[in-house]
Structure 1
Amino acid sequence: MEFCPTCGTLLRYELPHMDRLGRFFCLTCEYVCQIDSKVKIKRKQHLAKKALDPIFSEDDKKNWPTTEATCPKCGFGKAAFYQMQIRSADEPMTTFYECLDCGRQWRED
């Protein structure tokens, strides 16, 4: 968006026609800005993925309490769990489970 330096109104764009170049013009005053050449902005930026550190280490996982929960993958009846508040304060906590047999992780909201 371009604004008129004289009155501050938003400038309109007029397409090039025949031998006339494209231009910006003001509807309020008589300001005209000719566009001499085509502006071409092309830039590619490759994003690098940042390595993520685990939230819990293997030592932390050893200290998780266990409960009777059935694994959806292997059907084993025990799992380690922890709870975390991931939504707003008036929502219940989310329970994260990890199967003690196959290591599958799942959650219950």
Structure 2
Amino acid sequence: MLFCPYCANNLTIGDGEESPEKCWVCPTCPYQWVITQQISMRTHLARKQVDDVMGGEDAWKNVDQTDADCPKCESHRAYFRQLQIRSADEPMTTFYKCVKCGWQWREN
């Protein structure tokens, strides 16, 4: 997106009034900028780690334990916490962390 340097509106591509070439044209003021070369830009955003989204190790401090079977080590105790990850009319999602091996899973 390009913006007009005078009125800050979004520029659109159109025909120039003084030349037959394509121009960036401001829809509200007479500003025009002739397109002389192709313009392209790419922005790569850094992806968040899962621990950042889910709260990291601090999120598991002071949580309760319950009877739950670990799918990895077959332990029968796990920490649990609940988060609202969908819209408010959906039920909360329960996340578990095995007391023995630290494996994390969520209730389906």
- TM-score, structure 1 as length reference: 0.56
- Could you tell me which residue of structure 2 aligns to residue 72 of structure 1? 71
Aligned residue identity for 2:97: E
The list of structure 1 runs, each at least 4 consecutive aligned residues, that deviate by more than 3 angstroms after superposition, is 42-54
Q: Distance in 1 between the 2:61 and 2:48 partners?
A: 27
Match of 2:3 in 1: none
What corresponds to 1:21 in structure 2? Answer: none
Find the partner of 2:41 among 16, 34, 43. Answer: 43
Q: Cα distance 1:61–1:88, how it changes in 2: closer, same or farther (>3 A)?
A: same
Between the aligned partners of 1:57 and 1:99, the Cα distance in structure 2 is: 13
What number of residue pairs does the alignment pair up? 83
Report the CA distance between 1:91 and its aligned residue.
1.2
Q: Structure 1: which 5+ residue stretches go unaligned?
A: 4-23, 26-30
Counterpart of 1:100 in structure 2 is 99
Provide TM-score, normalisation by structure 2.
0.56
With over 3 angstroms needed to count, the CA separation of the structure-2 counterparts of 1:46 and 1:100, relative to structure 1, is same
Q: Could you tell me the percent identity over the aligned residues? A: 43
The 1:77/1:53 distance shift into structure 2, 3 A limit, reads: same
1:1-109 matches, within 5 Å, as: 1-3=12-14, 24=15, 33-35=19-21, 38-48=36-46, 52=52, 55=55, 57-58=57-58, 61-109=60-108
| Cα separation, 1, equivalents of 2:44 and 2:87 | 34
